[in-house]
Amino acid sequence: MNKNILIPFFFVIAVCSAGRVPLSKQNVRKQVFRPFMLVDPLTARSMLNNDFESGTEDPWYDSSPNTVHWVVEDFSAPAANYAPPTPLNGTKYLRATRNEQLNPGLLILRTVVFTALPGDVISFDFWIRSKYTGGNTLDLVLSVGNVESTLLTLTSYSTSVNFEWRRTSTPILDDSFIQPTDVTLIFYAYCGDNVDDAIAIDDIVVESVADVKSSSEDKPAVEQ
């Protein structure tokens, strides 16, 4: 073969190769570094409380698959179509936030794996509203290994006239658990495409039942 032909041929290959990005690098998804995911399960338990005043949901994290996501919102500057009721505490909370087209979708908020102790209780504030009764959903689910069980279902509060934050609580482990157990807590929710549709969570607290009783005893009695 004529050398005068080969030289330009290899030159073209070299230029193209120099500007080519390896396929493996093209397909690498951006990974978000979450330091709290590196802690051991027992330590993780002590980190779960969050009133979102810091502006972050850590160590809870959003794993929603679609266009609706959990976003920390400030009551003084709501990003959604309308402001929620005044929070029970502080000004920030976690809210289901849709895109500009108000596309509906599933939301998932979960913890890292943590060690739940017998007698642990989770408490949190919530607000859920929809144009049609039961139009939006909010469930708290316990995952042990690959087995999920529902701890709370709050869909009945999803009405067009709900303008109130409420506080609720539930034991994390039932009486069948007598030893510390590694678990995950998950909020599953669905937010529709109506302007009225909204879901928000605030002031999540995980504590032992002994702490709950002590806290209630320290409060002054309510006059009848």
Q: For the segment 87-118, what is each residue's pLDDT rounded down to a tens digit?
A: 999 999 999 999 888 899 999 999 999 999 99
CATH dotted code for 36-212? 2.60.120.260
CA distance linking residue 66 with residue 58, whole number of Å: 20
Residue 194, both tokens = 């109506």
pLDDT, one tens digit for every residue, the chain (224 residues): 444 444 443 333 333 333 333 333 233 323 455 655 677 898 999 999 999 999 999 999 999 998 899 999 999 888 766 788 999 999 999 999 998 888 999 999 999 999 999 999 999 999 999 999 999 999 999 999 989 999 999 999 999 999 999 999 999 999 999 999 999 999 999 999 999 999 999 999 999 976 655 555 554 443 32
Share of the chain above pLDDT 70, in %: 75
- Cα–Cα distance measured from residue 122 to residue 137, given in angstroms and rounded to the nearest whole number: 19
pLDDT in tens, 5-27: 444 433 333 333 333 333 332 33
Mean pLDDT for the chain overall = 82
pLDDT of residue 8: 42
Say which residues have a Cβ less than 8 Å from residue 191's Cβ, sequence separation at least 6. 68, 96, 98, 104, 105, 107, 136, 197, 198, 199
Q: What is the pLDDT of residue 76?
A: 87
